[in-house]
Structure 1
Amino acid sequence: MGKRAIGFQREIVAEAARLICEERLTDYRLAKQKAAERLGLPGRTQMPENARIHEAVIEYQRLFGGSEYAERLQLLRRTAVRAMKLLATFEPRLVGAVASGATTDAHLVRLHGFADKPEMLDIFLEGRKIPYETGERRYRYPDGRIEEIPTCEFMAGDVGIEMAMFPPEELRRPPLSPHDGQPMKRLDLAAAELLAEQPIDLAV
């Protein structure tokens, strides 16, 4: 890759991170496309990897998010811990932006849960009179599989919680992260509790 192409990619990374943080985008592919358009780059410009965008979002928030970002991230992580305790029967794992810190106001808490039948979560929430909405989320696996995994989304105060329900045998076979193509990092309750108590590192 030539110096010019490297420079283009660096500009796209910075602008995409800004768009995600300031315009509440959560789709990295869309953020990269919009960044290239706003920078006036050719349509054939090679796009940077999502992992670079992910790291740039964290750095942008550390630099410019300030106390608002730190307080929101702490709220998301502590809410995640409370939700994981409530949903302990499903062996929940914390995943995604709340775990990594690449969050904006548009992000919700994402959990992976495990049960023989996904509707067991529906029954659990209905039994506690917790309103929820069902959906699906697409996941890719190292063996090339693409699976549509059922989800339930509900609110905990002003924080959205989405739990994707996997079969029990998938507990130790995580799908691939859309950010770096590696198996997703899943935090159990103990790891999530430790994370929730850590101070948020901001640039000074």
Structure 2
Amino acid sequence: MTGRHDRGSHAATRAPELRRRVAVEAARLMTEGGLRDYRQAKLKAAERLGIFDELSLPKNSEIEEALREHQRLFRGDDQTRTLRRLREVAREAMRFFSDHEPRLVGAVLEGTADAHSAVCLHLYSDQPNNVIAHLREHGIPYEEQTRRLRVDRASARDFPVLLFSADDAAIDITLLPYDLLRQAPLDRISEKPMQRASLGALEILLESR
């Protein structure tokens, strides 16, 4: 007869395998289906696989690792070209917003960007309307939203977001006050300060690839 301890041990042994399966499927959905939200992707992946145990849901870091692996295996040169094109778009956008200390963040910087990815920038200004005026002066249509970011482990704040398109790429700008320039908001995956790149750092990255 199988005891409760044996059943528990079996479940514990299967959990990493199930998390891996969900992570791989979530990565596929993000790459091929255009899903951007890690939680949405892993819940949809788990549903497709018939896995409903919370312990079998992967961490965001596990999905990110599976995403990189999927891109290496199935995208190859296409992903490399797409990433470079988006980084070049980011460079032009950062030059356009050079007065506002632009920083590149997200998948385009980290190297996991695909054809569905937006170029995500943080701009720093104590007068957000100046950024909006800059877009209007150049006749660039945009959409306004808000985004909640964790500024530290104890607090989160809402910040203005501007969305528009340039060179067939989506541009996603978060407007932050100057006092946050020294300390990046926390990454939603690692809960550490976000990886950021200045225009100079991005240009070095483009030259090295």
Instruction: Between the two structures, name the one with larger relative contact order (CA 8 Å, sep ≥ 6).
Output: 1
Look up the match of 2:39.
29
What is the CA distance between 1:166 and its match in structure 2?
Answer: 0.5
Look up the match of 1:73.
83
Identity value in percent: 40
Aligned letter for 1:139?
L
CA distance in structure 1 between the aligned counterparts of 2:135 and 2:52, rounded to whole angstroms: 49
Aligned letter for 1:69?
Q
Look up the match of 2:98.
88
Residues 36-45 or 130-139, more deviating? 36-45
Q: Which of structures 1 and 2 has the bigger CA Rg?
A: 2
Matched, 1:145 2:155: yes
Label 1:6 to 1:81 Cα distance change in 2 as closer, same or farther (>3 A): same
Pick from 178, 186, 189: which aligns with 2:188? 178
Label 1:143 to 1:179 Cα distance change in 2 as closer, same or farther (>3 A): closer
CA deviation profile, 1:10-31 (whole Å, cap 9, x unmatched): 1111111111111111010011
- 1:109 touches 1:161 (CA, 8 Å); kept in 2? yes
Aligned letter for 2:110?
S
Give the structure-1-normalised TM-score: 0.92
Greater share of residues in helix:
2
Matched, 1:7 2:38: no
CA distance in structure 1 between the aligned counterparts of 2:154 and 2:138, rounded to whole angstroms: 38
- 2:16 touches 2:56 (CA, 8 Å); kept in 1? no
Superposed CA RMSD in Å reads: 1.4
CA distance in structure 2 between the aligned counterparts of 1:100 and 1:94, rounded to whole angstroms: 10
Aligned letter for 1:3?
T
Aligned letter for 2:96?
L
CA distance in structure 2 between the aligned counterparts of 1:162 and 1:14, rounded to whole angstroms: 27
Aligned letter for 2:152?
P
Look up the match of 2:204.
194
Matched residues, number: 199
Give the structure-2-normalised TM-score: 0.90
Structure 1, unpaired ranges of 5+: 200-204
CA distance in structure 1 between the aligned counterparts of 2:147 and 2:206, rounded to whole angstroms: 26
The 5 A counterparts of 1:54-133 are 54-133=64-143
What is the CA distance between 1:145 and its match in structure 2?
Answer: 1.3
What is the CA distance between 1:118 and its match in structure 2?
Answer: 1.2
CA distance in structure 2 between the aligned counterparts of 1:33 and 1:133, rounded to whole angstroms: 28
CA distance in structure 2 between the aligned counterparts of 1:186 and 1:79, rounded to whole angstroms: 16
- 1:112 touches 1:166 (CA, 8 Å); kept in 2? yes
